[in-house]
Chain A
Amino acid sequence: MLMPPDIGFTLSNQSFEIWLQKPHDFATVRCALRTLKTRWPDVILPDVEIALAEALNNIAEHGGATVVGRPICIHWSHASGILDLCIQDYGRHIPQPIWSTPHLPTTECHLEDLPEGGFGWSMIHAICLDVKYDRQGSQNFLHLQFEASNTP
């Protein structure tokens, strides 16, 4: 097994590794997002932060035990006003209907029936120009494409 760094993530020029300490390790996701935003404010624009947070929280919540002790790798590249971001992890496979055709939970309902979750993939699709997912061996590859100049 690869050895995670003490701080939970590692930096390089156009990539970033997050090392979850346990399943549901949202605290490390939070630290990683804060670090990314501070180090690369021109990459982690508000829309990118919203989508990236949802994608990383999904991995922490649904990835299972196999995400622990292995890096979640984020790579990005800029070209012609487009930001391409790839998130690579060792968590569970994501079934196609979940990532490709999410349904935003309805808010036209009684108070007691209001949704408290299930927004993540819909938000990602609403923000991104393109969303692609691929499974290779034991790894997930999520490709997100953004307008690099997006603001909320």
Chain B
Amino acid sequence: MEIETQTCANTLCLTIVADRIDAAGVIHFKDRVLAEIEAATSPRVILDLNQVGFVDSSGLGGIVSIMKHLGTDKRLDLCALTPTVTKVFRLTRMDSVFHIYASLDIALQDADAA
């Protein structure tokens, strides 16, 4: 799994370069994302999932775990969920927990979140 990193203003944008976040790779995924977040000082983090076609419940748990790890010090948002991933968030009601944007550009334009 690769992660493309960019920083825009006060926001750390992490694009997950993988076709799936699942039980087989969730520990690696969490470790990689947390390492990127801890190496940065940005108070807001956006996970761009546009390349992730599938997330199982373990992968979802990994994303939730990252959010909990950040606590109230940093904010984790999501963007560009693919249709199947969107459905997993809807089925588990996690779409009510995260701020989910249609694209990275739209997420970055949300001034309230910056």
Contacts and interface: CB of A to CB of B under 8 A. Distances in A.
A18 interface: no
B57 A54 contact: yes
Q: How large is the interface on B (under 10, 10 to 19, 20 to 34, 35 or more residues)?
A: 20 to 34
Dominant SS at the A interface? Answer: helix
Contacts of B54: 49, 53
A61 B56 contact: no
Q: How large is the interface on A (under 10, 10 to 19, 20 to 34, 35 or more residues)?
A: 20 to 34
Interface string B80-106: 000110111001111011000000000
A131 B104 CA distance: 38
Interface in A122-152: 122-123, 126-127, 151-152
Dominant SS at the B interface? Answer: helix
B24 interface: yes
A46 B97 contact: no
Contact of A152 (B61, B65, B84): B84
Contact of B88 (A30, A50, A114, A117): A50
B108 interface: no
Given A29-B24, A152-B86, A54 B94 contact: no
Contacts of A122: 91-92
**Considering the complex of A and B, which 7 residue pairs feature the smallest CB-CB distances, nearest first?**
A116-B61, A26-B24, A26-B23, A152-B87, A152-B83, A119-B57, A30-B24
